[in-house]
């Protein structure tokens, strides 16, 4: 398999020699690169949201209560015929099933509100248990605009909000290797 990573001569041609620039040119170039960087970061957030929607479509909704279950889980139709969702996710996207679930949950909660702004994924994930329909816009604004120390304070304040107690009526059983050197989650226990 041949993988082409890029054209080195093109990358060389795009480099800028700041030693030959005036201070004003350096300042302008710096400002441009900061804007380019922020645009790239915005693409990462938008990319996560798009990926979350794709995962939702491929994996199907978490709860399917009708007779057409398999049709709503497109991953089962992959040419490699994977046995589990986890195998599919690992092979197709090279991420863990837990990461895929994080991305799906973050997308489901924030996508309608996030727009085209950069918000670090870890902030969205960390705030998820404390976000509700009344504070989601405020949480996104804080997560995207505040520096790390301010965000830590915001998250601490957010954690003080009373969380609705869940009765955990719908659960599933999982197996984990108890070898202290491993500890890997092996998958759902089949009934």
HEC secondary structure over the chain:
CCCCCCCHHHHHHHCCCHHHCCHHHHHHHHHHHHHHHHHHHHHHHHHHHHHHHHHHHHHCCCCCCCCCCHHHCHHHHCCCCCCCHHHHHHHHHCCCHHHHHHHHHHHHHHHHHHCCCCCCHHHHHHHHHHCCCCCHHHHHHHHHHCCHHHHHHHHHHHHCCCCCCCCCCCCCCEEECCCCCCCCEEEECCC
- pLDDT for 107: 92
Cα(160)–Cα(74) distance, rounded to whole angstroms? 40
**pLDDT beyond 60 at 9:** no
Place of tokens 């979350």: 52
In DSSP terms, which residues pair with 187 in a beta bridge?
175
Whole-model pTM? 0.67
Q: Which of 48, 23, 184, 185 is nearest to 119 (CA)?
A: 48
pLDDT higher than 60, residue 2: no
Query: In this structure, are residues 85 and 59 in contact, taking their beta carbons and an 8 Å threshold?
Result: yes
52's CB contacts (< 8 A; 6+ apart) are: 103, 104, 106, 107, 108, 111
Q: What percent of the chain has pLDDT over 90?
A: 16
Q: Where are the domains of the chain?
A: 20-118, 121-161
The pLDDT assigned to 14 comes to 67
- What's the pLDDT tens digit per position in 36-64? 887 887 888 888 899 999 988 888 765 54
Residue 13 has pLDDT above 50, yes or no: no
Residue-averaged pLDDT of the chain: 80
Q: What is the reported pLDDT for 11? A: 45
Residue 141 near residue 110 (C-beta atoms within 8 A): no
Gap between the Cα atoms of 145 and 123, Å rounded: 11
- Of residues 97 and 187, more confidence is placed in 97
């Amino acid at each position: 398999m041949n993988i082409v990573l890029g054209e080195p001569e093109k990358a060389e041609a795009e480099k800028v020699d700041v030693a030959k620039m005036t201070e004003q040119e350096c300042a302008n170039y710096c400002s441009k690169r900061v804007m380019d960087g922020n645009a790239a970061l915005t693409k990462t957030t938008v990319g996560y949201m798009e990926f979350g929607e794709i995962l939702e479509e491929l994996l199907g909704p978490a709860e399917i209560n009708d007779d057409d279950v398999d049709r709503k889980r497109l991953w089962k139709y992959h040419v490699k015929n994977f046995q589990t969702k986890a195998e599919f996710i690992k092979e197709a996207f090279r991420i863990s099933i837990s990461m895929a679930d994080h991305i799906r949950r973050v997308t489901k909660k924030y996508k309608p509100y996030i727009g085209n702004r950069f918000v670090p994924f870890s902030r969205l994930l960390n705030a998820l248990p404390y976000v509700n329909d009344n504070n989601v816009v405020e949480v996104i604004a804080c997560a995207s605009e505040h520096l790390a120390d301010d965000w830590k304070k915001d998250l601490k304040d957010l954690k003080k909000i009373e969380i609705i107690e869940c009765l955990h009526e719908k659960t599933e059983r999982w197996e984990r290797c108890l070898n202290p050197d491993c500890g890997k989650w092996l998958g759902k226990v089949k009934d």
